[in-house]
Amino acid sequence: MTQLTLHRIFNDPDLNGSSPVALKFSPDGSRVTYLKPSQKNFERLDLWEFNVATQQTRLLVDASELVSGQRILSDEEKARRERKRITQTGIVEYFWSPKSNAILFPLNGNLFLYHLDQAETLQQLTTDVTFETDLHFSPDGRFLSFVRNQNLFCIEVATGVERQLTLDGSGTISNGVAEFIAQEEMHRFDGYWWSPDSQSIAFIQVDEGTVELSQRYEIDADHFGVFDQRYPYAGTPNARTRLGVIDITTAEIHWPAIERDPDTYLARVNWLGDSARLAIQIQSRNQQRLDLVLWHKRQDTVSTLLSETAATWINLHDCFHSLQTGQEFIWASERSGYRHLYRYNIEGQLLNTITSGDWVVANLHGVDEVRETIYFDGFADTPLEKHLYRGSLNAHLEPVRISATGQSHQVELSRSLQHYIDSYSSASQPPAVSIQTIAGEVLLDLEPNKVDAHHPFHPYHDSCGKVEFGQLSAEDGQTLHYRLIKPKDLAPGVQCPLIVTVYGGPGVQRVTNEWIPPWHHYMASRGYAMLQLDNRGSSNRGKAFEDPIFGRLGEVEVSDQLVGVNYATSLPWIDARRVGVFGHSYGGYMTLMLMMKAPLVFIAGVSVAPVTDWRLYDTHYTERYLGLPSHNPDGYLSSSVFPYVHNLHGKLLVIHGMADDNVLFTNSTKLYQALQDENLAFEIMNYPGAKHGLSGRKVNLHRYGMMDQFFDQHLSPTSA
């Protein structure tokens, strides 16, 4: 039995095996393309394809051969990658031409077009020093568009002629780019949208001049920088946004007269299938109202189709879908307590309910209007596994599961809706990929990724402990799901320490039947029991499960995590005197709250990039759960860590990136001073130049090594 090490976890080849990402069908369905780590460097991605007709896979573009060295990213590109959680290099995204004859991708700050119909030649479209971002083809494939220097541009593919579509982007004004709040918290990464007929572009203009200017410190290894940053702290003004529509032929811009409070959010924008109308989702500042309004292009009028309201908050979604005629649309709502799909006409009248029940729809993947069939994924079978389902467009029928049980699935449907790419995994199966018919028949195991003798994880597989899934009850009777890993071959009568790996925040689910990152198995192989539990407030369980955190953070989450700890420490093989906790971001916040609210339970904790005072976090996320600081001052105070700092009893290690522009480093420096004022000892490890994700193998090898030493020192594991 080979012992897993940190050096092996953060080295080549990837222990998770060959895990292709960004899988897409070509528009004509003839190919499946994907990004795959290079065999020379698993942090660099290359572009590959599978040809459906020939059943052959091959490398299309080797990123290392195309450019030499890594160009320094612009500040805008760094921020964009941080928002999208892109941590790798090489070809990190790509876009199919609607004609299926070319693939567009950015690399090292410039644009490249790979022509499949021209002897597979590679054309470099731009050579300037400024990064192009936010790339899109027009639906007819005639143009490709992008943002450069805060303005929208397009290039006619056939001629290579470039045109600048907006002219006023500069200073605090940007065109066609999703603002910080939209990217980080609304999960809207686009700032412009082509009409289906390729004649118009709807775009959002952002003016950050209303956002308070503050200074953010970035400390790198060899220099110190002070950056002016317009960070929208909770309770402060947001950026101002407005919607414009560009006529591609004349380049004239029209600004629809949408009556809205300037404090509201432009949450989503969708063209209807007829290209004559635009559906706009407008969310109130307190996020308790969401209006779906319709702008009529020809009449230049605006009407409200429907409104959603909630006593707590409304979760945004991407399930709006216009049917081809533009006379009907699909909409998702949580009005029943669970997100489900509904069919409406263009007057805003409900035609029929499509799905219902005590389970959550996750995403809408396709609508076959001819067969009156709709495809979506969700959790109808179990909250631990996401599956692909088929439903009826015109009637409420029980959904038919297509994907296989015993796994959790991420799917991508072909444009014809006859095939789908299935990216799946389980607790015992690393991420794998197959191509299947829409009936669920496997056509090809593109990447089976079995842990056989050739798999990188195989030498360590026998050292993995048993993974146990279970259920517990919260104080209000709701079901809590947990996952517990027991060290393998733990000697009879020997007790091991417990580490709770926590996130705990809203909008995230951690306990699923998916592949568990090797670090958890590594810690278990060294004699630690590893516990994860999804407390109330976590996603994919319905609003009744999410809502208890409203107005007060760090209360029911702590209570539920302690239910998990109490269960685990009741087991004869876990030592209740040696319990630790580790978490990142909201998990870092939860680590602090657990250690300070239950100081005699946790002996040691590692808090990474924690929020410590919610007044230091952004508007859209924080106000969703706590409201405005002026309206809920007690909630903000009780939700921060500072009223409880004096309770700290266990050993604490705080880790933070010194260039974090999401959870600002100020959160930790404020904590440092509070702990020092209480004369409490603690440890820190700050990483120069590191952002919120603390990405990169060198940084991760060091910080997890620090955690190793910290937990070994204070929890003293007994080797299994």
Single-letter amino acid, residue 142: R
Strands of the sheet containing 265-271, edge to edge, are 265-271, 277-283, 289-296, 301-309
- Residue 376 CA to residue 399 CA, distance in Å, equals 9
Minimal CA–CA distance to 519: which of 1, 108, 16, 131? Answer: 16
What is the SS3 assignment for 242? strand
Whole-angstrom CA distances from 264 to 29, 284, 423, 536, 600 are 40, 5, 37, 28, 45
Dihedral-angle region of residue 248 (phi above 0 means left; psi in -120 to 50 means alpha; beta otherwise): alpha
Are 604 and 714 in contact by the 8 Å Cβ rule? The answer is yes
Residue 169 CA to its chain's centroid (Å): 28
Residue 224: other Cβ atoms inside 10 A: 10
Active-site residue, 585 included: yes
Token representation of residue 348: 């805003």
- Residue 394 CA to residue 716 CA, distance in Å, equals 61
Burial of 382 (0-12, 13-18, 19+ CB in 10 A): middle
Active-site position among 138, 660, 661, 668? 660
For 554-696, strand residue ranges (E) read 574-584, 604-608, 651-657, 683-687
- Residue 466 CA to residue 428 CA, distance in Å, equals 10
Active-site residue, 97 included: no
- Residue 57 CA to residue 46 CA, distance in Å, equals 13
Active-site position among 100, 463, 585, 607? 585
Strand partners, 240: 207
Interior CA angle at 702 toward 85 and 663, to 5°? 40
Active-site residue, 656 included: no
Whole-angstrom CA distances from 44 to 88, 203, 610, 698 are 6, 32, 29, 15
Which residues are marked as active site? 585, 660, 692
